[in-house]
Amino acid sequence: MSPELLFQPMHKQLSSLLKGEVSAEELTRNYLDRISHYDTKLNAFMTVFYDSALQAAKVADQKRLSGEPLGALHGIPFGLKDIIEVEGQTTTWGSYALNNRTSAETATVVERLNGQGAIILGKTQSVEFALGGWGTNEFYGTPWNPWDLETHRIPGGSSSGSGVAVAAGLCAAALGSDTGGSVRLPSAFCGITGLKPTFGRVSNYGVMPLSTSLDTIGPMARCVEDVALIYDVIRGPDSKHPPTLQPPLDNPITHLRKGISGMRLAVLPDEEREVLSSVVNDAYDHSLSLIKDLGAEIVIRGLPHPFEAYRNMSSVIISAEGYSCTADLVDQSDLPIGSAVRNRMLHGKSYSVKQYLDALHQMDLWRAEFAAEMSDIDALITPTTTDCAIPTDEVDEQIIPAHFTRATNVLGLCALAIPSAHSTNGLPLSVCIHGHPFREAHTLRIGWALEQALDECSRIPPGLDSV
């Protein structure tokens, strides 16, 4: 099989599968071959389900040949972040301390993927306890950003393995989780597309938690249409996760290609751009120029408060809730837990009940404030990161790379990261579309239009185009 097919957008693979031009077993076997060939270096997968994946692919082919109704993702091979439960399989929360832990249940999102014919290839790497934006993992090793095979660069986190696996052509798509940027950061650094749905849009049942107030499962794939198709499958009410029972329904596909002419899109004022590297700043200007060309109105308007304010407040909520979830582990000093992650988690132990409740109250006030001040705006456009991927030996674990992303979670928004450009040495850059709560369809529509103009999502990392 040509490697080009394995790097095709998922929706094109679906078309080839439906026409019988390729079988699910062929597609799955070729991805598994690539994992065997490349993942010793890339370290994207924690566990690979060789036998069960091939068996599921054979069943998918039998259904197609027999004329049975096919699911929306029929025959598409997926990776799952190693915090998402699959009954009978290992799920470690990215922690070596849980290296032998076996899942007793299957997450709702996995049941929905399986119900629509997806093939689960295995579990992808996660930052320990899903707490970290660089993508590092002290005990399991940090996945290798596939855009530089000479220098070990950060993949972004915490859905590090999912970002690397999709970018390197080890799977067609993957699921990650996003508490403060953990879908969007690896999507940005690895040059793929990632959607952070609004909290309550996608069920968290069967997902190992970091923050019960902010965690969201999101799709990661090669283009906007792909993440829209996956989102359409995994979204919706689940009685096992009550926050999903209230949100209004949406259809992410119907208006995807309707364009953005006449929309009003907010962009950063100059003072919020001072943190950007020159290459990110130039790429951001290029994206804004294309947005104008597409007929949207550019409105210079930042958030009601600096991004740092949202980031700092989110740290209280994430640390307090994260410590509540992991205290039985991080309080045991003899367990093999990464020092940086342990220290971040233990911050949560220092917050009082008053500080935590005050932060939740402030979050509610800021959400109401955003709704009022941005009511005449369709979305806010920012870079996803302030720079491209740095070498792993330059990482400062005291710094959080989620400058623009954490505000989205605090404000209860949805957001979409798409490739926007690349540096002179080929490293991906990304732009982020922050949409109003439960306006995923609208946000995806903006992203699709901009993606067509940018024409960056078809790039393949050099050196990974064989096998």
pLDDT in tens, 96-120: 999 999 999 999 999 999 999 999 9
Q: Mapping DSSP to helix (H, G, I), strand (E, B) and coil, where does residue 104 land?
A: coil
Q: Are 125 and 44 in contact (CB under 8 A)?
A: yes
Let me know how long the chain is: 467
Closest CA to 279 of 184, 383, 193: 383
Instruction: Map residue 225 onto helix, strand or coil.
Output: helix
Strand pairing report for 379-383 and 297-300: unpaired
Question: CA–CA distance from 220 to each of 19, 163, 217, 242 (Å)?
Answer: 25, 7, 10, 25
For residue 269, what pLDDT is reported? 97
- Which pLDDT value is given to residue 231? 98
Residue 467: the pLDDT is 67
Query: What pLDDT shows up at residue 87?
Result: 98
What is the crossing angle of helices 339-350 and 307-330, to 10°?
Answer: 100
What pTM was computed for the model?
0.98
Please report the pLDDT score of residue 196 as a whole number: 98
Helices (H) and strands (E) in the chain, counts: 14, 11
**The pLDDT value given to residue 466:** 72
Q: What is the pLDDT of residue 362?
A: 98
CA atoms 149, 154, 159, 163: torsion sign? negative
User: What pLDDT shows up at residue 148?
Assistant: 98
CA atoms of 155 and 174, how far apart (whole Å): 15
Q: Which of 410, 413, 404 is nearest to 359 (CA)?
A: 410
* pLDDT score at 3: 83
* Cis status, amide bond into 158, omega within 30 of 0: yes
Q: Distance between CA atoms of 296 and 299, rounded to whole angstroms? A: 10
Question: On the CB side of 449, how many CA atoms lie within 13 Å of its CA?
Answer: 23
Identity of the amino acid at 169:
G
Q: How far is residue 13's CA from residue 23's CA, in Å, rounded to a whole number?
A: 10
Radius of gyration, CA atoms only, the chain:
20
Residue type, 394: E
CA distance 246 to 242: 8
Q: Which pLDDT score is estimated for 5?
A: 92
Separation between Cα atoms, residue 104 and residue 81, nearest integer Å: 17
Give the end-to-end CA distance of the chain in Å, rounded to a whole number: 8
| Residues of the chain where predicted confidence (pLDDT) is lower than 50 | none
Per-residue tokens: 416: 């979409």
pLDDT at 1: 74
The dihedral sign for the CA sequence 344, 346, 350, 354: positive
Q: List alpha helices for 20-97, DSSP H.
A: 24-42, 50-66
| pLDDT reported for residue 246 | 87
Strand segments (E) across 322-446: 379-383, 414-422, 428-435
Predicted confidence at residue 373, as pLDDT, reads 97
Nearest CA to 37 out of 169, 202, 203, 219 is that of 169
Give the separation between CA 228 and CA 251, rounded to whole angstroms: 9
**What are the residue numbers of the active site?**
81, 158, 182
